[in-house]
């Protein structure tokens, strides 16, 4: 004996609801039966004494019921066309209200004054879903579930979300780089008292130094983005260049030697500027010499200093 296909069927334990048959056995999934909800609402027998007087009211109630059913179907269709999420949210809210009224307490503010009216709310939720299914079928060609022909929820096509591509992380690496940097020498000067003023000479030749700088380099996808100094080591210290500047004052320029020595023929021709007598020995006047002859300087040596008057050797005697 073949089993019926998997679908929603009337619950054998409770005819007021539907239960899912998976093709082999009954499952625990249940849903309210729209037909039972509507039948429960409108199948209440009227009191015998009011049957004749309530005939017009029954007609109005029938039209009202038909209007509610049509309105629920239309609203469900509009919500389905607007957004599938919207009809799911509205139907869920109506089902929640119906369960609260049915299991907990009535809600007079919503017009649900008795617990059986909770079944009406569940029926309206089913009508909303039915209207949405009809609207979806008219646009997408899918058969809408109805109260008489409930369809399994698994038969409703759903869009499979495409997994978003996982971004590939950009590789970040680190490297160590060293480079040599030239440190230029500094030029300085020094006073040289042995050289004449205005003269200069390089006494120490300058030499550039070398410093080794080590960097930590950050690479993103093989491209350098930053670097930081890790260490600096002096490989060769620079040698400063020293230039000596002469500071010695030059000797005064000697006066031109006259063609004729002062004092006539008794003056020694090796001297000028003053008459140096020709004698066995001549000393500077006011000095420590003992003569026998003396001369009042200054005296410029133009020949040989036979009397040793120029003791400092600057060419000027008795100064």
Q: What is the pLDDT of residues 158-197, one digit of tens each?
A: 567 777 777 777 889 999 999 999 999 999 999 888 888 8
Q: Taking the model in full, what pTM does it have? A: 0.29
Residue 89 lies in a domain: yes
Residue 163 lies in a domain: no
Distances (CA, A) of 238 to 180, 205, 213, 229, 244: 14, 11, 16, 22, 19
Strand partners, 250: none
Residue 34 sits in the same domain as residue 97: yes
Give residue 151's domain range: 7-44+56-155
Percent of the chain with pLDDT over 90: 18
pLDDT digits (tens, 9 = 90+) for 90-116: 778 878 877 887 777 777 776 666 767
Q: What are phi and psi of 126, to 5 degrees?
A: -65, -40
Provide the CATH number for the domain around residue 179: 2.20.230.10
Contacts of 229 (CB under 8 A, 6+ apart): 213, 214, 215
Residue 184 sits in the same domain as residue 141: no
Residue 75 lies in a domain: yes
Number of domains, the chain: 3
Residue 29 sits in the same domain as residue 70: yes
Identify the domain boundary among 227, 248, 269: 248
Residue 207 sits in the same domain as residue 90: no
Quote the distance between the C-alpha of residue 75 and its chain's center.
Answer: 51
Residue 161 lies in a domain: no
């Amino acid at each position: 004996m073949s089993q019926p296909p998997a679908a929603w069927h009337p619950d054998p334990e409770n005819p007021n609801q539907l239960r899912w048959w998976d093709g082999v056995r009954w499952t625990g999934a249940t849903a309210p039966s729209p037909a039972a909800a509507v039948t429960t609402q409108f199948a209440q027998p009227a009191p015998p004494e009011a049957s004749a007087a309530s005939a017009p009211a029954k007609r109005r109630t029938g039209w009202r019921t038909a209007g509610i059913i049509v309105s629920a179907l239309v609203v469900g269709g509009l919500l389905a066309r607007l957004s599938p999420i919207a009809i799911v949210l509205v139907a869920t809210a109506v089902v929640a209200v119906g369960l609260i009224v049915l299991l907990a307490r009535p809600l007079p503010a919503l017009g649900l004054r008795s617990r059986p009216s909770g079944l009406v709310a569940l029926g309206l939720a089913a009508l909303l879903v039915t209207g949405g299914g009809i609207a979806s079928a008219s646009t997408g060609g899918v058969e809408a579930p109805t109260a008489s022909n409930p369809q399994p929820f698994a038969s409703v096509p759903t869009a499979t979300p495409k997994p978003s591509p996982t971004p590939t992380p950009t590789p970040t690496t680190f490297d160590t780089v060293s480079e040599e940097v030239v440190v230029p020498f500094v030029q300085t000067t020094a006073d040289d008292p042995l050289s004449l003023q205005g003269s200069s000479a390089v006494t120490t030749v300058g030499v550039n130094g070398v410093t080794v700088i080590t960097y930590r380099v950050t690479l993103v996808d093989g491209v350098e983005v930053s670097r930081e100094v890790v260490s600096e080591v002096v490989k060769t210290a620079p040698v400063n260049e020293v230039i000596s500047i002469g500071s010695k004052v030059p000797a005064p320029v000697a006066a031109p030697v006259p063609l004729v020595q002062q004092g006539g023929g008794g003056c020694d021709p090796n001297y000028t500027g003053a008459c140096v007598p020709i004698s066995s020995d001549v000393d500077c006047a006011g000095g420590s010499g003992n003569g026998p002859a003396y001369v009042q300087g200054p005296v410029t040596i133009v020949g040989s200093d036979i009397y040793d008057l120029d003791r400092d050797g600057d060419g000027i005697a008795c100064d």
